[in-house]
Amino acid sequence: MTKEDTASRLKIAAHWYAELREPDADDRTWDAFRAWEGSDPANRAAFRQVEASLSLLEGSSLAAPGAGNGYAASATQSAARKTARVRLYWLTGIAAVLMLALVSVVALSPPAAPAAQVYATAIGDTRDVTLEDGSQVTLNTDTELAVTYSRTERRIQLAHGQALFSVMKGTRPFIVAAGGSETRALGTMFEVYRGPEDVSVTLVEGSVSVLPETAGQGSAAPDVDEEKAATVLVPGDRLVLRGGAIASLTQVDTSEALAWQGGILQFRDVTLGEAIAELNRYSETKLRVDDPALAEEHLSGAFPAGDQDMFAETLRLYLPVELRRTGEAILVIPAAHHAD
């Protein structure tokens, strides 16, 4: 419905309000009003709006001459007609005021917050997404993020999982928020992984600043204190945050770090427990190692993401272990403890 339609409907509703308040309003007047009101729900709504507004005004100093109890006290038919004309002009004016107020409310109302676009992947899946500014996002397994672009910033909220961002340069900062941290970039490539306890940021190329603390975050332009608290990364840096603070800053081989894009998990001198935790992200079949000493064994190598059986069988070639299957789990145990 246009503003013109609304204004016309309010004017007609005000006219009916005046007519029905007349002392000589007869059944034909009421029948005509009911026909108009029942022909369109918008008519009924307009009349209720006029009725609600004028019920407050009639008892105030803003009421027109002859309004309220003076209607029934008209001395002559001529005076009543004169009062009706004054009242009708007044009511028509009130309808215009109502319309002006309606337009003003719409004009002054703040614009609605931009809607977030949510992207997600299931366990074992990856997904490539092109954002509205041309930036590219690759979501790794079991990942969910929400994208919100406004006039002042490009904001990504990483709920969980891992994503690689290739950011198009622009005047608005590109911000990835994850676990109480904010990573800001204008044009670069970096990866953010939000795990159960840690958040890690790996810079592939360009430059990013990582703000670990949540205090003072949320604005597109960081203040001086935030800039001092932020850590600026160089390509190959991996920053790990835990509990809102920096846990470590190391250099990594980015080609190995991003091997998951090709379906390969590259491990370099990690514990068996760490390798199993990473492998379990890619499959509904879970590997388990309950023996603490076995979990601390170190290994290196490249393994297909999601192929739990291949990894488990490979372990048997290099470590004295046995495998037990229990439902959707593969238990890795020291061979000496295996007894059937």
The 10s digit of each residue's pLDDT in 275-284 is 999 999 999 9
| Spatial distance between the Cα atoms of 48 and 82, rounded to a whole number of angstroms | 26
Instruction: Determine phi and psi for 332, rounding to 5 degrees.
Output: -100, 120
How would you label 103-130 residue by residue, b for 16+ Cβ within 10 Å and e otherwise? eeeeeeeeeeeeeeeebebeeeebeeee
154-163, 211-220, 233-242, 287-296: segment of lowest average pLDDT: 211-220
Q: Are 13 and 96 in contact (CB under 8 A)?
A: no
Question: pLDDT higher for 106 or 35?
Answer: 35
* 68: region left, alpha or beta (phi > 0 left; psi from -120 to 50 alpha): left
Range of the domain at 210: 117-255
Domain boundary among 203, 235, 255: 255
One domain, residues 250 and 289 = no
Residue 155 belongs to domain with CATH number: 2.60.120.1440
One domain, residues 183 and 96 = no
Number of domains in the chain: 3
Domain boundary among 200, 223, 255: 255
One domain, residues 56 and 182 = no
User: What is the pLDDT at residue 326?
Assistant: 87
One domain, residues 22 and 42 = yes
Average pLDDT over residues 243-269: 93
Instruction: Determine phi and psi for 86, rounding to 5 degrees.
Output: -60, -45
Average pLDDT over residues 133-144: 97
One domain, residues 220 and 162 = yes
Q: Is the pTM of this model over 0.75?
A: no
Question: pLDDT higher for 285 or 95?
Answer: 285
Question: pLDDT higher for 1 or 268?
Answer: 268
Instruction: Give the three-class secondary structure for 268.
Output: strand
Q: What is the mean pLDDT of the chain?
A: 81
Structure confidence at residue 78 as a pLDDT band (50, 70, 90): low
Q: Are 184 and 156 in contact (CB under 8 A)?
A: no
* In the predicted structure, residue 241 carries a pLDDT above the cut 80: yes
One domain, residues 242 and 328 = no
pLDDT, tens only, 142-189 = 999 999 999 999 999 999 999 999 999 988 999 999 998 999 997 899
3-state helix, strand, coil in the chain (%, to 5): 35, 30, 30
